[in-house]
Amino acid sequence: VYKRQDKAELLPLVELGLNHEQQHQELMLTDILHLMSCNPMLPAVREGLPPEAQTVAGGWHDYDAGEAEVGHDAAAFCFDNETPRHRVLLQPYSLANRLVTNAEYQAFIDDRGYQTPSLWLSEGWAMVQSQGWRAPLYWLDDQREFSLYGAHRRQADQPVRHLSFHESVAYAE
């Protein structure tokens, strides 16, 4: 039997445990997706089609150079790799007001993005070369993509998914 103050001390451990378990569940779904993608039948784990995201007209937000703080402020739960909070110096930049669509990423592919070394970080370019990357993971050659819903037609206006860090950087370049 715990005293009231002991329960308060346990709360951060319970919160950590729950968040840690959530990570395991996410990884399990990722592993199931990859395992099913290796099956030539491309079986579905879920019925129907993936839910569609709401898309908005494209636009950009411009930001000035300056100093910014990044990292968690530790006022609420966070994992240790989200700290310490620290300052970074930013150059001027622009961000889109929405996610990149499949059609926009297809244009990157059509514009020889996977054959243009200057767009890639050196480690990313090495992976493109050694692993033969030509499109995002789970894109199929026939305008379909694979998800937990099986193989389905890729929707041009939906957000592109399953990009690696290196693909994201190359696209941004």
What average pLDDT score do residues 5-12 get? 80
Q: What pLDDT score was predicted for residue 169?
A: 97
Q: What pLDDT score was predicted for residue 58?
A: 80
pLDDT band for position 80 (cuts 50, 70, 90): confident
pLDDT band for position 3 (cuts 50, 70, 90): low
Q: What pLDDT score was predicted for residue 91?
A: 97
Q: pLDDT tens digit string along 43-65? A: 999 999 999 988 777 889 999 99
Q: What pLDDT score was predicted for residue 68?
A: 95
pLDDT band for position 1 (cuts 50, 70, 90): low
What type of residue is 62?
D
Q: Note the helical H segments in the chain.
A: 4-37, 102-110, 122-131, 165-172
Average pLDDT, the chain: 93
Where is pLDDT greater, at 10 or 115? Answer: 115
Q: For 3-7, 100-104, 146-150, which range has the lowest pLDDT when averaged over its residues? A: 3-7
CA distance 9 to 131: 48
Stated pTM of the model: 0.83
Q: What pLDDT score was predicted for residue 74?
A: 72
The dihedral region occupied by 96, where left means phi > 0, alpha psi between -120 and 50, and beta the remainder, is beta
Q: Are 69 and 86 in contact (CB under 8 A)?
A: yes
Contacts of 50 (CB under 8 A, 6+ apart): 147, 148, 149, 152
